[in-house]
Amino acid sequence: VTRRPAAGLAAALLALAVLAAGCGGGDGDAVTIYSGRTSNLVGPILERFAEETGISVDVRYGDSAELALLIEQEGERSPADVFLSQSPGATGYLAGTGRLARLDQGVLDLVDERFRNADGLWVGVSGRQRVLVYNTDLVDEADLPDRVEEVVEPPLAGQVAVAPSNGSFQDFITAMRVTQGEEAAAAFLRGLAEADAPTYANNNAIVEAVGRGEVPMGLANHYYLHRFLEEDPDLPAANHRFDGDDIGALLIASSASVLEGSAQADGAQQLVEYLLSAEAQAYFAEETFEYPLATGVEPPSELPPLETLEVPAFDIDELGGGLERTLELIRDSGLDG
């Protein structure tokens, strides 16, 4: 007799939950988005798109690389229409498998050539910049470096944390290989290893460690600090930008692409176009502290405007390939992941 309430409760819970799960169900006419960017970052703007156009959207969130592998396995019957990627590597991988369709020229033209694929397979939507995050209690502003190479030289050597297993750090190394040559990139990595640079799992861990003073400085993406400060305004940490023409100040784009053979190709192209509209771009600038990449949209007040921001001249398509070579360099450098 004692078991009945438990079993009943479990059954009721289950029924309710299955019902709830069923209600969220797919819609044949919806544009299906596989998003490597989290719901916190893009969910609100995707909802606004659905409201304004009347086109319903189904979003599947996940890790960019894992979603790229999923789309590859799904093959021609993939439900995905649009792929939003956090990392250039995942988009580049899909482009390599021939799964991406060419975007409309009108959509491509919304973005500066620096931030889109040469073959028109993807466009950059929002950008994050590589910066040096430092602990304001431990580091004097006057001692901050102008160029990223300085972090492997005295007196900074060993004081700057990196995240070798993180995609953004790897993108930065790829960019360094392309702009300054294999030897320079290899020497930089060796320098980090020889200086025993503290290493962490990802950007979050670096900002957290710098904030609590475990390490004075670290290489990270600019927007993590903004989010930490929102929850802990007293965190003694600040971002420092390298010189505009230095590869340390690389701007990495999150990207949007449409899948080849999408059953909702029109809606998909419309969605990508909407993400580059003034409204959506302002959302990224104000709500997620990112650089808007559509031409003519102002970045958030605390960031320098993109036109005046000198970003290192660099072919962004290079980030889509060559990751294997970068991983090999990192492995060979002896830098402890």
Partner 1 sequence: VGAAAAPPLRLLGAVLALGFAAPLLFLLQQAAAVGPEVVAAAVDPGLLAPAARSLAMAGGAATAAAALGTAAAWAVTRTDLPGARGWAVVLALPLALPSYIGAFTLQAALAPGGLTDRVLGVALPRVEGWWAATTILALLTYPYVFLLVGARLRQLPADLEEAARLLGHPPRAVARRVVLPQVLPSVLAGSLLVFLYAVSDFGLPQLLRYDTLTRVIFGSLLDRPTSTALALQLAVLALLVAALHRAALGRVARGRPGTSAVRTGTRWRLGRWRLPAVAGVAALAVSALGAPLGVLAFWALRGVVSGSGRAGSVLQDPAVVTAPLLGSAAAGLLAAGAATAVVLPIAYLSARRRDRVGEVAHGVVVTGFALPGLVIALALSAFLLRGPVALSWLYQTLPVMVAAHVVHFAAQSLQASQVAVLAVPDRVVEAARTLGVGRVGRLLRVELPVMAPSLLAGAGLVLLSTVKELPATLLLSPPGFRTLATDVWAATTDAFWAEASVLALVLVALSAVLTWLLVLRRADALA
x-or-dash string of contact with partner 1, 145-174, rule CB under 8 A? --------------------x---------
Question: Is there binding between residue 327 and partner 1 (CB under 8 A)?
Answer: yes
Question: Is there binding between residue 61 and partner 1 (CB under 8 A)?
Answer: yes
Question: Is there binding between residue 13 and partner 1 (CB under 8 A)?
Answer: yes
User: Least separation, in Å, of the C-beta of 36 and partner 1?
Assistant: 10
Cα gap 154→133, rounded to integer Å = 18
Of 36 and 312, the one with the shorter C-beta distance to partner 1 is 36
Question: Is there binding between residue 79 and partner 1 (CB under 8 A)?
Answer: yes
Q: Binding residue for partner 1 (CB under 8 A) from 100, 101, 161, 209?
A: 209
8 A C-beta contact, residue 183 and residue 329 = no
Q: Binding residue for partner 1 (CB under 8 A) from 83, 134, 228, 291?
A: 228
Q: Binding residue for partner 1 (CB under 8 A) from 73, 105, 301, 308?
A: 73
Structure tokens at 32: 């299906």
As to burial, measured by CB atoms within 10 angstroms (0-12 exposed, 13-18 middle, 19+ buried), residue 225 is buried
- Three-state DSSP at 20 gives helix
Question: Is there binding between residue 120 and partner 1 (CB under 8 A)?
Answer: no
Q: How far apart, in Å, are the Cα atoms of 279 and each of 20, 178, 282, 283?
A: 32, 35, 5, 6
Cα gap 206→162, rounded to integer Å = 7
Q: Binding residue for partner 1 (CB under 8 A) from 28, 98, 154, 233?
A: 233
Q: Given CA atoms 262, 266, 267, 270 in this order, what sign does their dihedral have?
A: positive
Q: How far apart, in Å, are the Cα atoms of 230 and each of 15, 126, 143, 168, 225?
A: 39, 20, 27, 22, 9
Count the helices and strands in the chain (H runs, E runs): 12, 10
Contacts with partner 1 by CB under 8 A lie at 2-3, 6, 9-10, 13-14, 16-18, 20-22, 24-27, 30, 32, 38-41, 58-63, 65-70, 73-75, 77-79, 89-90, 93, 165, 198-201, 204-205, 207-209, 212-214, 224, 227-228, 230-233, 323-324, 327, 331, 336-337
